[in-house]
Homo-oligomer: A and B are copies of this chain.
Amino acid sequence: MTLVGASCPLCQTSGGLLVVRTERFRVVRVLDAQFPAYYRLIWNEHVNEWTDLMPLHRGECMHAVAAIETMLRSELQPTKVNLAAFGNVVPHLHWHVLARFDWDTHFPEPYWGQVQRAADEAKLLDLRDRMPEVDAALASAI
């Protein structure tokens, strides 16, 4: 599968709520009602695989992924942080960085796995309310 430029959604749009953009990548928050604390780091240039990046840029990419994970941990004290780079559907390098909670609909299954329980709307509402300040903290950390 090759999707570049006009046919690649991550070449055409930010890919989520833009939190911060650098010369090489941007960080967006994914607007998922069940997973409010879900960011993606999207490489600006269209590359398919993480190892398509030269080692310097690969390091820069992971430094930013670490900054997102660190911010999620310090701001939200999640049960776990989940990291993933798949790109099977949209093969334009992006890293998923999600804070997971033992009360979320899928825990301990991955986001991509089976639902385990009903949504806890009170906890979700509280988490959604906190995300703009996490965005702001993240924007100044990157």
Q: Which residues of A contact B (CB under 8 A)?
A: 1, 48-51, 55, 58-59, 62, 66, 69-70, 73, 79-89, 91, 100, 102, 107-110, 112-113
Contacts and interface: CB of A to CB of B under 8 A. Distances in A.
20 contacts: A1-B79, A1-B108, A48-B80, A49-B69, A50-B66, A50-B69, A50-B83, A51-B66, A51-B81, A55-B66, A80-B87, A80-B91, A82-B87, A83-B83, A84-B110, A88-B107, A88-B109, A89-B108, A112-B112, A113-B113
B108 A110 contact: no
Contacts of A66: 50-51, 55, 58
Contacts of A91: 80
B51 A69 contact: yes
Given A49-B69, A82-B86, 8 more contacts: A48-B80, A51-B70, A80-B87, A80-B88, A82-B84, A86-B110, A110-B110, A110-B112
Contacts of A86: 80, 82-84, 110
A50 B51 CA distance: 19
A91 B89 CA distance: 28
A104 B1 CA distance: 15
A99 to B, nearest CB: 11
Nearest to A107: B88
Nearest to A111: B112
